[in-house]
């Protein structure tokens, strides 16, 4: 059984977006990050947690602790749709392989251009194949 797919079904069925989920090395801790356009509340986290607990019981998913939370202000960008949705936002991008001796880039997300992640930095515009992005996250403005 694919726990990730099961979590995705439950979370999306409740009207939320599954941003990410993590497990501890031995799978004893399940950490689920959800989002919704209006913002995630404590009640939203409780609703998802209660539903996942019930489903895990039925599906015999073995775990010790379940944590459900919002992805935070520095939300990770994981899916191609994230790079379209958050165009115009400040981001940090880390590449799998260096581009001109540089793996980390910070700037304003332009979006997806022909399947590539495009950002505008102080040094100019850069474009990276989506598959080459190791990590990307929003940088909150205060």
Per-residue model confidence as pLDDT tens digits over 66-113: 999 999 999 999 999 999 999 999 999 999 999 888 999 999 999 998
The CATH code belonging to domain 3-69 is 3.30.300.70
> What residue ranges do the domains of the chain occupy?
3-69, 80-138
Q: Is the pLDDT of residue 1 over 70?
A: no
pLDDT of the residue at 122: 93
Q: What is the pLDDT of residue 89?
A: 95
Q: Mean pLDDT across the chain, nearest whole number?
A: 92
Q: By the 8 A CB rule, do 10 and 52 touch?
A: yes
Per residue in 4-44, pLDDT (tens digit) is 899 999 999 999 999 999 988 877 899 999 999 888 999 99
Separation between Cα atoms, residue 68 and residue 35, nearest integer Å: 11
Interatomic CA distance for residues 18 and 20, integer angstroms: 6
* pTM (two decimals): 0.82
Contact 138, 77 (CB under 8 A): yes
Q: Which CATH topology does 80-138 take? A: SH3 type barrels. (2.30.30)
Tell the residue number behind the tokens 């079904």, with chain if given: 9
Q: In angstroms, rounded to a whole number, what is the distance separating the alpha carbons of residues 70 and 48?
A: 11
Q: Count Cβ neighbours within 10 Å for each residue of 48-63 and write b for 16 or more, e otherwise.
A: bbeebeeebeeeebeb
pLDDT for 2 equals 87
- The pLDDT score that the predictor gives to residue 142 is 83
**pLDDT at residue 37 in the model:** 86
């Amino acid at each position: 059984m694919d726990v990730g797919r099961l979590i995705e079904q439950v979370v999306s069925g409740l009207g939320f977006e599954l941003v990410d989920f993590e497990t501890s090395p031995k799978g004893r801790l399940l950490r689920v990050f959800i989002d919704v356009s209006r913002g995630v509340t404590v009640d939203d986290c409780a609703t998802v947690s209660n539903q996942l607990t019930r489903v895990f019981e039925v599906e015999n998913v073995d775990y010790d602790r379940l944590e459900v939370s919002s992805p935070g202000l520095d939300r990770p960008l994981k899916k191609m749709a994230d790079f379209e949705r958050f165009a115009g936002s400040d981001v940090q991008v880390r590449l799998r392989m260096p581009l001109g001796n540089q793996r980390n880039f910070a700037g304003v997300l332009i979006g997806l251009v022909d399947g590539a992640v495009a950002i505008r930095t102080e040094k100019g515009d850069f474009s990276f194949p989506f598959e080459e992005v190791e990590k990307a996250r929003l940088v909150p403005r205060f």
